[in-house]
Structure formats: structure tokens, C-alpha cells
Amino acid sequence: MRVLFTLLLVQIPAVCAQAQEQPCKGRIAGKVVNSYTRQPIAGASVQQMNDSSKALVTNADGTFALNQCERLAQIIISKAGFKDAVYTLPAGEEKVLPLIPETLELATVTVTDERISTGNAATTLATVSDEALTRKQGKGLAEVLGDISGVQVLRNGATIAKPIIQGLHGNRILILNNGIRQEGQQWGLDHAPEIDPFMASQLTVVKGAAAVQYGAEAIGGVVLVNPPKLPTQAGIRTMLHLQGASNGRQGIASGQVSGYHSGIGWRAQLTRKRSGNVHTPNYFLANTGVSETNFSLAAGYQKERYGAEVFFSRFNTDLGIFRGAHIGNLTDLQFAISSPRPVVSSDFSYQIDNPRQAVTHSLLKINGYWKKSQGEWQWQYGFQHNKRQEFDIRRGGRDNIPALDLNLFTHTLDAVYEAGKGSAWQWKAGFNGIVQSNLNTPGTGIRPLVPNYWVTAAGTFAIWKYSATRWDAEAGIRYDLRHMEVRRFDRNNVLQRTERLFNNISATVGAAYYVSEKTTLRSQLASAWRPPAPNELYSEGLHHGAAALEFGSDSLKSEQSWKWTNGISLKTDNISLEISGFAQYIGNYIYLAPQGETRLTIRGAFPVFHFEQTNARLAGADLTLHWQPWAQWETWLKGSMVRARDLTNGAFLPWIPPDQASVSLRRNLLLPSESRWKGAYASLSCIVAAQQWRVDVERDFAPPPRGYTLLNFDSGIRYEHGRQALHIGFSVHNLTNVAYRDYMNRFRYFADEQGRNFQLYLKYTL
């Protein structure tokens, strides 16, 4: 039987259940779980096919039960952030029904009681749990993702964080914001992704090179940020978040309203965030406030065979950069490193002074689908405008003139044709186009860090998948062509026009083998590439924050990577184990090579670095173990390690996260089932980060900081009354208020990490 699905919404497939009239036998029951994490999914809608009157929602433990008269019932389960799934269930049995997190991969979800498919075979995916999402949304996208083993965070003090997937970050990972490639100024180590985590109902990390589907830059992995699905049933739904944190005296309010009216589903969302100077255990960090205002609007019209959706979001942040990390020359940097605490002292303040960043990111997306009997067309158009202004401490009353003023305009067009859903052979083919212009606003009075450039790129790909009873196999190929034109002034103020053409073939092959119902093995070999970033090509001069003279080279070639990812997952009733290992080779790896010379300037002498290429190897493993020996007790063990080598020079690569492990123990309080209070828990977790000793000390300004151990506490409870639910959470980060520095924080030269932080969060849904 062929069942068609849409990636976008709940719909009623043109399928008839083979129901037979029989006397009432009893009940159809099941438990809905996340297919990757095996966590129960609460609030998923369960609808009987042919009979929409029998619709209900899963309980907190993912279970549901339908009273009905037929021997078999065909049900459709849907939940925002997951693919719809259809199951044919026999009466009288209670089955575990996995839902697959929604991603853009080829995999579809045609599931019967006979064969439970696990979706995209080869790819190793990890999803942030609902609970961690609620708890960490207020800390920004990178910090939320940091909850996944194998994902770490590259920080620039307290206000800027970027995700690292299996050792790689920045232009080497790709973020898909609601299906659109996020195009900001990702090359900057101090440029955080411009995405509001409160917009997302699901965050997924693809830990493989997924360049065939997503195009350039997906070398380390892909982050998928997906908003909830638009409603398809009448009624207004409301969600409200209120959060407060003691450190930085942070307050966040975020609300979301969605509804459905005469065929059109809609949603509006608004987030406001304000925080002031954060505190380490011993001192305040001057100028570390953040002010953020974000909103998004969406509307969609959906029919069974066709539909379209419009989405608009705007992210707006104004953030301070720790004053003590602003240095003028190498002597200043060395003095800061030798000082046990920053010389710039501060009290609490919400004020955001220079140096600061003001960033606005707007995204408009229009997408649609059209299903035919043989297959389905999907297309999407995206327009993004990224405006970045960086304000520095300047002379002559120029503090209000940005030192960097960049506008990046990106148009993307994606079209995909997908066929064979639900059958053994599936394939999809697609086209991606991108037109981009990066324009410096004149008048900064400072030579632009990156030049004006125009990119036109197009790619086309095809992926095939074959599903058998015990295994799935997948292969794909892609061709990319990218043209870049640059116009800039050289040192002598002579206009230079350069054009570069990059082209590349990427390929992927992978398979999953279902050893048993409990055990799955996955393996994937995938290639990926990325063109050199504008700063790697055209940097020319002093990088103030880094106290270095950096020089790009416009003869750099594209990076070319091969990544082999292997995973094993084991799921029993009370244990779930996920281990993934990877080995990666990156040819033409671009890095800042120290030249062993210093050059004298009016600010003193600075070391000289050139962007050069080498060949690099990365390998590592991540582990997540969840064990629930009794209903009341749960424990998690997570760990990750990465090893990275510069093969040509026999050296270590810088900015590779040290080994890290965490253990958490959680006590669930069993409340009487008739109580309106549900899901009470308290948990204690311990994070241990080792010292990164795999570094070349002479290539860094200071030795890596010592390892550290952090204790975090978290607790929560839920009150349910009819359709209303109130989640109350309380957590403490850095419970013991330990003073430490993290190797992956670029401000580790200057100051300690944040001290103890009490957090209270409320989430109300109606």
C-alpha cells in the first residue's frame, strides 16, 4: 500500500483501512516515542484514519488508548517537529510506536505493524530533548545544542557562542533555519548564529557530512532548526515562556499564538530578552549585557495534494563585548594573560557600551509542494538580509560610527522531486541556487575586514535509497558550481576586481543494518567541500582582538573532506545506548599559520599569521547512555572526544574541544495519576572537562587552562488542567560556584567563566 505524506502538515492520506465489521473487541493502545532518543512523546495527536472524531493526544508518558470495535485500526500520529507516521495496529496489544524527527532527508515514514522503519538509515542524528530545549532556550542556539554529546560550544566571553560539531565550527558546519541555509557572516569566530531558539520546536544535529543534500560547507555536520507545524484544526493555541536568571539578572519573555481559520493555519511568535553584566565567582565582567528582540510570522494553506506556506522571521540583537578583552597590542594581551583577574573592574549594569555588536537578520521563506501519483515536487524560495554593525572604542567622537558595517543579501531557491515514497526504491533529485551580495556600507573610516563580493552558485543532486527487511542502503551524488566576484581596494587604494570559479563533486554512500528490533548499525561515507571564506582570502592587516597581523591569500583552493561516520544504537525497555565514531580527512584544510616573525607597527610589534592550507585528520567518538532501572530513577552518561592532526606539519590543530563527559542522575516523583500535578523530577548532573593538552604551546599566547568539574541542578513539575498546562522549572548552573576557564572560550586569556546561576522558567500552554 502506498501512503503519501507531506513534510509540512497533518493531512489525511488517501488510504482506506481494511476495516472489517466485527463485534467490539476492546482497545487499541500504544506508546509514542522519539525514534532516536526513545524518549516518550507527550502531546502527539493520534487520529484514526477514516474517523477524525476519534482524535486524541498522547499522555505525558507517550501512551494513548482508543476504544473501538475493529480488529485492526489504522492511525496517523503527528507531532510538531516529527514526521507523520501511519501504523496499523491490532486491537488488544500495546505497541511502542516511534516517531522520526523531521529532517529534510530522503527517508520517509511509512510504517506498518510489521516493519518499523528507522528512517534515514545512514545518518547519525541527535535531537535536543523537549526538556533540555525548554531549560536552555534562553541561553541561545549554541548552548542548547551543547546538550547533545558530540556538540560543543565555542564562546567569545559570555555573550557570543557558536556550535561545534565533532570538532568543527563556523564555515565548516551548516545551519538550516526552517529549511533555509543560514547565511550570516559565519566566518567570524565572534559571530554567533542569528537564530532565536524560542522559534524552534525541534533542534536536530546531523553528525555526518551531509553535503549532497545541503551543499557546500556541511563538512562537520548540519544543524536543523525547525519551527512547529502550522495547525490544521480550528482553535487558537497559545504558548508563553517566562524565564529569569540570577546571573546577569536576565529576563526573557516569549510568546507564541497559532490558529487555523478557513483552510489557513497561522502562527505568530515574539521573544524579548534582556540581560546585564554577568558575574564570575569573583568579579563582574564589564559590558556583557545583551538585548534581543525577535519575532516570526507564518501562514500556510494546505491541501492533500498541494499547499504553500509563507514564513518571515527577524532576529535583532545588541550585545556587549567584555571590555577586559579589548586590547591594543601584544603587550596588552600578555599583561591580561598574566593578571589573575581583569584590570577593568565593573559593577552590575544593563548598559551596553562599545565594543558592541548590533546584528539584524531577516528571513523570508515561501515554500510549497505538489503531489502527483508518482511523486512529489517541493520547492522553496528564501530571502535573507543579514546586517552586522560592530562598534569599537574610537577617537574623535566616532564611537557611534560602526567600525564594521556589513550587509549580506542572500536569495536561495531549492526545488526537489521525490518519488517512490513508501516503496523499496526511493529517489529524489533536486536543484539549489543561491545569489548573494556582500556590501560594506561606506563611511566607517576603517578598511573593510572583508571586501564587497557577489556569489552566484548552483548545485544539483540525486539520492537513491533502497529499503529491505533488515537493512537500508543509500547513495547520492551532487555537483556544485560557484562563481565569486570580488571588488576591493588594495593597500595602495587601487581598485582590484577578481573573479573565482569553484566547482565540486560530492558523493555519499551509506547503510543501516537492523541487527534486531533493539539494535541498529549505521555507516556512512560522505564527501563535502567548502570554498575559502572571504576573510581567509582577503584579510590584510591587524586583527585587533587577536593581537595578530593576519594575511589572506586569494589563491586558496576549496577544502575537500571525506568523513566516515559509524553508529550503533541499542534500545531496550530501560536502556538506550547510542555510540557514534567518526574519522575524517580534510584536504586543503585552511588555517592560520604562524610565520615566526613579528612586524613593528606604531602600536608595537605583532606576530604575523598567514592563511595557509594543509591536510588534516580528525577522528573521535560520542556516546550517550540512558538507563532507567526503575520508573523513579534515571541516569544519563554522555561523553565525547576528538583527535585532530595537521598531517603536513605534524602538529595539532588549534580550537579542538578537549575530552568531555557528563553524568546525570534524575529522580522522578511518582504522583497519583488523578493529580493535576504531573512529571515532577529533580536531577543533578556533573560535567567533567579535561585539559586540552593536545596543543602546540608555541602556537598559542597562553597554555590551555586546566580541566574542570561542574555541578548543575535541575528540577521541574507540570500542572495540567484541561487543555492548559503550566511547566515550572528551577535550575542551578555551576552549583559549587567554581572558578574555571574553558579552552573553547576565546576570552579564556582574560577572565573566568560565569559563576553560579539560578534560573527559573515557566512555560504555559493553552
Partner 1 sequence: MFNLRTGFYALLLTIVVLSGCNRKDPEPENEKEEINRMEVVFTPVTGGNSVTFLFSDPDGEGGNPPTITAPPLRARTTYNVTITLSKDKDGKREDKTAEIRAEADEHQFFFIINPATLMTHRYDDVDKNNRPLGLRNIVETQAAGSGTMRIVLRHDLNKAFPNLNNTNFQQAGGETDIDVTFPVTVQ
Residues in contact with partner 1 by CB under 8 A are: 323-324, 326-329, 331-332, 335, 339, 343-344, 393-396, 398, 429, 433, 435, 437, 439-440, 442-448, 451-452, 454, 456-460, 462, 479, 481, 483, 485, 487-489, 491, 493, 495, 540-542, 549, 551, 599-604, 606, 608
Shortest separation between residue 425's beta carbon and partner 1, angstroms:
13
Pairing of strands 221-226, 173-177: parallel
List helix spans (H) across 250-327: none
| Dist CA 317 CA 292 (whole Å) | 4
Shortest separation between residue 188's beta carbon and partner 1, angstroms:
19
The residue among 368 and 451 lying less far from partner 1, judged by its C-beta, is 451
Shortest separation between residue 336's beta carbon and partner 1, angstroms:
9
Which residues touch 484 (CB under 8 Å, ≥6 apart)? 453, 454, 455, 499, 500, 501, 502, 531
Three-state DSSP string of 369-394: EEECCCEEEEEEEEEEEEEEEEECCC
The residue among 24 and 343 lying less far from partner 1, judged by its C-beta, is 343
| Dist CA 624 CA 205 (whole Å) | 14
The residue among 90 and 604 lying less far from partner 1, judged by its C-beta, is 604
415, 451 Cβ separation under 8 angstroms: no
Shortest separation between residue 81's beta carbon and partner 1, angstroms:
33
Q: Exposed, middle or buried by CB within 10 Å (0-12, 13-18, 19+), for 649?
A: middle
DSSP assignment of 205-224: EE-S--HHHH-TTTTSEEEE
Count the alpha carbons within 13 Å of 448 in the hemisphere toward its beta carbon: 24
Of 506, 488, 508, the residue nearest 497 (C-alpha) = 488
Shortest separation between residue 98's beta carbon and partner 1, angstroms:
33
Shortest separation between residue 141's beta carbon and partner 1, angstroms:
31
Which residues touch 114 (CB under 8 Å, ≥6 apart)? none
The residue among 326 and 356 lying less far from partner 1, judged by its C-beta, is 326
Bridge partners of residue 551, in order along the sequence: 540, 610
Q: What are phi and psi of 335, to 5 degrees?
A: -65, -40
Shortest separation between residue 478's beta carbon and partner 1, angstroms:
12
Q: How many CB atoms lie within 10 A of CB 650?
A: 8
| Dist CA 160 CA 156 (whole Å) | 5
Cα dihedral value 231, 232, 236, 238, nearest 10:
-20
382, 410 Cβ separation under 8 angstroms: yes
Of 658, 473, 528, 512, the residue nearest 208 (C-alpha) = 528
List helix spans (H) across 210-363: 211-214, 330-338
Only one residue has cell 530545549, namely 133
Output Rg (C-alpha) for the chain, integer angstroms: 26
Shortest separation between residue 697's beta carbon and partner 1, angstroms:
24
The residue among 309 and 550 lying less far from partner 1, judged by its C-beta, is 550
Q: Residue 185, SS3?
A: coil
Provide the phi-psi class of 518: left if phi over 0, else alpha when psi is between -120 and 50, else beta.
alpha
The residue among 483 and 557 lying less far from partner 1, judged by its C-beta, is 483
Pairing of strands 173-177, 180-181: antiparallel
The residue among 235 and 541 lying less far from partner 1, judged by its C-beta, is 541
The residue among 491 and 721 lying less far from partner 1, judged by its C-beta, is 491
Shortest separation between residue 479's beta carbon and partner 1, angstroms:
7
The residue among 272 and 603 lying less far from partner 1, judged by its C-beta, is 603
Shortest separation between residue 546's beta carbon and partner 1, angstroms:
13
Shortest separation between residue 86's beta carbon and partner 1, angstroms:
30
Only one residue has cell 515562556, namely 241
The residue among 323 and 356 lying less far from partner 1, judged by its C-beta, is 323
| Dist CA 305 CA 644 (whole Å) | 49
The residue among 600 and 670 lying less far from partner 1, judged by its C-beta, is 600
The residue among 340 and 650 lying less far from partner 1, judged by its C-beta, is 340
